Amino acid sequence: MSDEKNLDSLFNGFSKLDYQDRLERLRDAGLIVEDDMAFLADGGVKDIVLSENFIENAIGYFQLPLGVATHFRIDGVDRFVPMAVEETSIIAAASKTAKWIKENGEIKTSVMGSEIIGQIQLARVGDFTKFESLIERNKSHFIEMANREVVPSLVARGGGVRSIQVRKLVRPDGLFMGIVHVYMDPCEAMGANLINQVCEFLKNPIQELTGEKVTMCILSNLVDSKVTNAHIKIKVDAELGEKIEEASLFAELDPYRAATNNKGILNGIDPIVIATGNDWRAVEAGMHAYVARTGHYTSLSRWRYQGGLLQGQLNSPIIMGTVGGVTRLHPTSKLALKILNVESSNDLSRVCAAVGLTQNLGALRALTTVGIIEGHMKLHIKNLSMGAGATDSEIPILQKKLEQILVMRKRITLSNAVEALREIRAPQQ
């Protein structure tokens, strides 16, 4: 992992700094250089040719705000965490909760397993017993062939195809479907293209050996063979600890609540996945499938309170790459990886798990105490002011007025903002 230096002096007061000072703090942390500062200040990537290389029919870029969450101390290492996200309260809540944890507890992470999964489907297998035993007897040969022909450079880096497993599914018509699972260590890549190539390569040898027909090949996003864990311990009073445990039980027992709880966790994870050029749809699909794998969709996190200590766990596949895809091609994701200062794709997954669980803790703390509106709407007031049509000079005046309304009425809407703006403008009309 990165240099183990304490970044407290650079974290403190970060949100109160103006734009240039924020960039200077990142430079002082040794995370960016003058060229990066100029790139960011100029609005990031604009090169249309690059977008044409990424996608078909490109007409431009969709720019999301990019920020950094502060105060994250993960496995003893201080990090600024780059997050690309439009939701106003996410980075503020992540930073505030990370600071609270740093001062009263700790965040530890780990990754269990190293292999991603590819699937080869044989929709109708005539003689399943024969099919299974042929694959079992020849799997070392298939593994050796795929490593030699398709992913030799992965093998050279210490990865490659490790094992093959046959699964049997009973179809609605009573026949058997055969699924061949291919397990591969993708090293620093997320590995989607590599595992898909391995599976497609194995299609013909499997057909020739078994006489059965392969119907499709694709990776699985339910990667239960590579699971990232985050664990938070924090000293809290019994009242808060018990409230958060109750909130956790709610999400563990009720899929309606679990969906929202997990969305809150993904509030912390998706912005990092996006900022680093990774596939957020794959991460989302994998995480949701993982917590539904028993047939009951449940919470990604679990919080328990005992003897002054609140402890939270998150276990989930969070498959990320630091090479491959657009991670190193998109200038902003390259820069985000530099700011995050991670050395491996596992480190990146661990940061995601840590931020996701932290975000969850922040949400549960707010939900079980002051409610979500107070913090959320305070930050959302600026959006409402802009939405109401306030000009740059009117925004601070309208914001102040809306803050007063929020304190008085405990809620605020766009029509309040429109009405308040009308009142501000009234004397001049």
- Residues 49-88 binding ligand MEV (CB under 6 A) are 87
264 binds ligand MEV (CB under 6 A): yes
Residues contacting ligand MEV: total by CB under 6 A: 9
d(CA 320, CA 326): 12
105 backbone dihedrals φ, ψ, rounded to 5°: -175, -145
360-369: string of b/e by CB count within 10 Å (b at 16+)?
bbbbbbbbbe
Identity of the residue, 357 or 417, whose beta carbon is nearer to ligand MEV in the bound complex: 357
Instruction: Tell me the H-state helices in 291-393.
Output: 331-340, 345-368, 372-387
Q: If we measure between CA atoms, which residue out of 177, 194, 176 comes closest to residue 185?
A: 194
Is 34 within 8 Å of 104 (Cβ atoms)? no
- Residues 160-189 binding ligand MEV (CB under 6 A) are none
Identity of the residue, 323 or 379, whose beta carbon is nearer to ligand MEV in the bound complex: 379
Q: Whole-number minimum distance, CB 346 to ligand MEV, in Å?
A: 27
d(CA 429, CA 272): 47
298 binds ligand MEV (CB under 6 A): no
Q: Pick the piece of the chain touching ligand MEV (CB under 6 A) from 157-165, 191-199, 238-246, 258-266.
A: 258-266
Task: Name the residue with the smallest CB distance to ligand MEV.
Answer: 264
Identity of the residue, 75 or 252, whose beta carbon is nearer to ligand MEV in the bound complex: 252
109 binds ligand MEV (CB under 6 A): no
Q: Whole-number minimum distance, CB 376 to ligand MEV, in Å?
A: 8
286 binds ligand MEV (CB under 6 A): no
Q: Whole-number minimum distance, CB 74 to ligand MEV, in Å?
A: 21
13: helix, strand or coil: coil
Q: Pick the piece of the chain touching ligand MEV (CB under 6 A) from 232-240, 259-267, 302-310, 325-333.
A: 259-267
d(CA 233, CA 247): 17
Quick one: CA dihedral 302, 233, 72, 229, positive or negative? negative
d(CA 308, CA 109): 22
Identity of the residue, 271 or 324, whose beta carbon is nearer to ligand MEV in the bound complex: 271
94 binds ligand MEV (CB under 6 A): no
Q: Pick the piece of the chain touching ligand MEV (CB under 6 A) from 24-32, 150-158, 228-236, 260-268.
A: 260-268
Identity of the residue, 50 or 367, whose beta carbon is nearer to ligand MEV in the bound complex: 367
HSE-up (13 A, CA, CB side) for residue 237:
3
- Antiparallel, parallel or unpaired: β 116-125 and 216-220: antiparallel
Q: Whole-number minimum distance, CB 377 to ligand MEV, in Å?
A: 12
363 binds ligand MEV (CB under 6 A): yes
301 binds ligand MEV (CB under 6 A): no
Identity of the residue, 286 or 362, whose beta carbon is nearer to ligand MEV in the bound complex: 362
143 binds ligand MEV (CB under 6 A): no
Q: Is 330 left (phi over 0), alpha (psi -120 to 50) or beta?
A: beta
CA 169 to each of CA 26, 36, 175, 176: distance values in angstroms, whole numbers, following the listed order: 53, 52, 9, 6
Bridge partners of residue 309, in order along the sequence: 235, 306
Identity of the residue, 210 or 267, whose beta carbon is nearer to ligand MEV in the bound complex: 267
| Number of other residues whose CB lies within 10 A of the CB of residue 174 | 6
Which two structure tokens, joined as six digits, stand for 405?
A: 């309304």
Which two structure tokens, joined as six digits, stand for 216?
A: 């499709």
Which of 215, 260, 391, 415 forms a contact with ligand MEV (CB under 6 A)?
260
267 binds ligand MEV (CB under 6 A): yes
193 binds ligand MEV (CB under 6 A): no
What single DSSP character describes residue 14? G
211: helix, strand or coil: coil
Q: If we measure between CA atoms, which residue out of 40, 48, 39 comes closest to residue 65?
A: 40
d(CA 198, CA 218): 10
Q: Whole-number minimum distance, CB 419 to ligand MEV, in Å?
A: 26
Q: Pick the piece of the chain touching ligand MEV (CB under 6 A) from 41-49, 206-214, 262-270, 329-337.
A: 262-270
Q: Whole-number minimum distance, CB 231 to ligand MEV, in Å?
A: 19
Bridge partners of residue 180, in order along the sequence: 120, 166
Bridge partners of residue 220, in order along the sequence: 117
Q: Whole-number minimum distance, CB 261 to ligand MEV, in Å?
A: 5
Q: Whole-number minimum distance, CB 247 to ligand MEV, in Å?
A: 8
C-alpha triplet 95, 98, 99: angle, nearest 5°? 85
Which of 5, 130, 263, 293 forms a contact with ligand MEV (CB under 6 A)?
263
Which two structure tokens, joined as six digits, stand for 235?
A: 């000293």
Which of 41, 48, 156, 372 forms a contact with ligand MEV (CB under 6 A)?
372
- Give me the residues that bind ligand MEV (CB under 6 A), please: 87, 260-261, 263-264, 267, 363, 367, 372
